[in-house]
A and B are shown apart, each in its own frame.
Chain A
Amino acid sequence: MGFSGKQLMGVGIFLFVIFIGVPLIIAATGRWDFYYTLTSVALLAIASAGVWLTFYIGRINIGQGAFALIGAYVSAILVVKAGWSFWISLPAAGLFAALVAILIGLPILRLRGVYFAMITLVLTQVATLTALALPITNGAKGISSIPLPSGVSIFGIPLIPDFSSMENTKLAFYITACILMIVTYAALYRLVNSRLGHLCRSMQQNEELASSIGVNISYIRIVIFAISSFFGGIGGAMFGSIAQSVYPSSFQVADSVNFMLNCFLGGLGYVFGPMLGTLVLYFGWDLLFEFGKYQMLIYSTILILLIRFLPNGLLSLSIGKGDKK
């Protein structure tokens, strides 16, 4: 894979902005609450990346909230009840979400179009109800006072400092979330530009045709759905750790719909679309907080106008100027 100088420079500027620029601006303006907002954006962008990936095989996924909830609960239970380190429970949460996705995906990935969209929406509701019904998830009370992530050291060299001994956990969570987000999108970019990515694009266009020329479509869609849910689980687990609590209502149908909106708004044809969509939607929602009870009205009006006049996503504005994907 060759990168052009322009692309490398873009990535460089992006890294500089999120790791040096943003902390400097926040220190200068004193708006420490933006750390929490931006951390949420980074984590939601991870989950949205998963939704985007399912769209890449031509499925509209409104069930990411279910997998985020599963991830959050798995991590919380492992940390609180089994005493694991958070950093081990994080991949475990992702893997568990992926496992669930494989089991559920086997039947439901046969559905297409609007049926798949509706069944995944129902799935979010199922996850919430399951969390309410199971004994291990503590019902409606949820799991609260989850300890902050502990430190990790190998051979006495501290790799990750202990979060509970830190003065500024907000900055630490922000940097962790950004690193996770960058790894996610790097992985996504690599995946889309690999052989698997080409196969996915062929499925997005026409599954029968792809199948007829020897693409193992049922295998690919399970793999993609599992990866997508892995992202959802990671995002959810990290969210639970920051909020230090998980409730059945942590991720609901509205969150699932929002993950989908992030992808649609950013533009489905672009790998970095969901990241931009999440930033615009979540940050916009946060900025509109000052309008009090008109917040929802203004937010939804802007959303409707955006889709009315830019039905192909925000990034579609730059079509033709190159820099596609």
Chain B
Amino acid sequence: MEQILANGVYLGSQYAMIALGLTLIFALMNVLNFAHGQMYVIGGFVTYTFYGQWGVPFVLALVMSCVTLAILGALIERYLFAPVIKGSAREESTMLLAAGIAFFLDAVILLVFGEKQRGVPKIIDGVFNYDFKLIMPYDRILICFLAILSIVAFIGLMQYTKTGRALRALAQDRTAAQLMGVNVDRYSMIGFALGAMLAGLVGGLLVTITGVNLGMGGPTSIKAFMMVMIGGAGVISGAIWGGIILGFMEAIGLALLYQYGDITYLLIFVSLMIFLAIRPQGLMGKPWG
């Protein structure tokens, strides 16, 4: 039981970070970022290249992942999403653009990094073992700790800095924020870059444990969508709850139902549909987000 809970915390903290980036982008621009999983994969590959291949210290490699993705996110927002949102008759056109970007990033990953599964050397060796009831490798504990730290830092940024206040104002009401003197274009770009950066950071953290490969993008996006739906689209606390809930469901399901194979995910999907039928806006979302 302790093991399941520990796995749940570990998975949940990772998932929450992925969902945070997605929900931030959604809250600010009303864009469903299909390319989020691909951004996560790119983050993983950047850390792999710096830390695994060139021997740069892990923390520096993580920073490089964040910087790369932040720049990528900013460029995508500035030159693709912003003009399309302005020029399109329907908001939904951004979905087509997001899907196109997902395809594009997949193609770039394939050309630059290849299709092989990549892994990096362990950051710390050794396994934490509490009386054989709770077994957890030290590197997982460290990654989990770093993930929670990043989430706390992110919440701090959103709550207590000027940028965070501007972003929250933008998410609440675009027009009102503009009237209050928030530079809407600039903060949209910053928000998108921040969301992409979170995806890159998780990618960089997880490459040390699960490795990274080209095919991880799509499924990661779908999981992120599920977390956002559980918690409510565009709500920061909702994304964290969604991540934790999905992490625990997966940990418990995989532990109890492992002999049935993929049935865990089927059950999660079905229960999500039932949950959404009862509460369409998720746990914390605004109705009709």
B134 at the binding interface (Cβ < 8 Å): no
User: Contact between B99 and A115 (Cβ–Cβ < 8 Å)?
Assistant: no
Which B residues are in CB contact (< 8 Å) with A257? 34, 99
Distance, CA A126 to CA B273, complexed state (A): 10
Chain A CB within 10 Å, residue with most, of B83, B228, B280: B280
The number of inter-chain residue pairs (CB within 8 angstroms) is: 139
Chain A CB within 10 Å, residue with most, of B88, B107, B289: B107
B265 interface neighbour in A115, A129, A304, Cβ under 8 Å: A129
A307 at the binding interface (Cβ < 8 Å): yes
A130 at the binding interface (Cβ < 8 Å): yes
Which B residues are in CB contact (< 8 Å) with A299? 103, 107
User: Contact between B92 and A110 (Cβ–Cβ < 8 Å)?
Assistant: no
Closest to B277 in A: A107
User: Contact between A307 and B97 (Cβ–Cβ < 8 Å)?
Assistant: yes
Distance, CA A113 to CA B280, complexed state (A): 11
A133 at the binding interface (Cβ < 8 Å): yes
User: Could you tell me how many residues of chain B have their Cβ less than 8 Å away from some Cβ of chain A?
Assistant: 50
Whether A300 touches B84, Cβ cut-off 8 Å, given contacts A122-B269, A307-B96, is: no
User: Contact between B265 and A253 (Cβ–Cβ < 8 Å)?
Assistant: no
Of residues 14 to 70 in B, which have CB atoms within 8 Å of A's CB atoms? 26, 30, 32, 34
Taking chain B's interface residues, is the majority helix, strand, or loop, or is none over half, making it mixed?
helix
User: Could you tell me how many residues of chain A have their Cβ less than 8 Å away from some Cβ of chain B?
Assistant: 44
User: Contact between B110 and A293 (Cβ–Cβ < 8 Å)?
Assistant: yes
**Which A residues lie at the B interface, using CB under 8 A?**
55, 60, 104, 107-108, 110-115, 117-119, 121-123, 125-126, 129-130, 132-133, 253-254, 257, 260-261, 264-265, 268, 293-294, 296-297, 299-301, 303-304, 307-308, 311-312
What are 27 A-B pairs with beta-carbon distances under 8 A? Answer: A110-B280, A114-B30, A115-B280, A115-B281, A115-B288, A118-B233, A121-B222, A122-B222, A125-B222, A126-B266, A129-B262, A129-B266, A133-B263, A254-B218, A268-B90, A294-B111, A297-B111, A300-B106, A303-B100, A304-B80, A307-B93, A308-B83, A308-B84, A311-B84, A311-B87, A311-B88, A312-B88
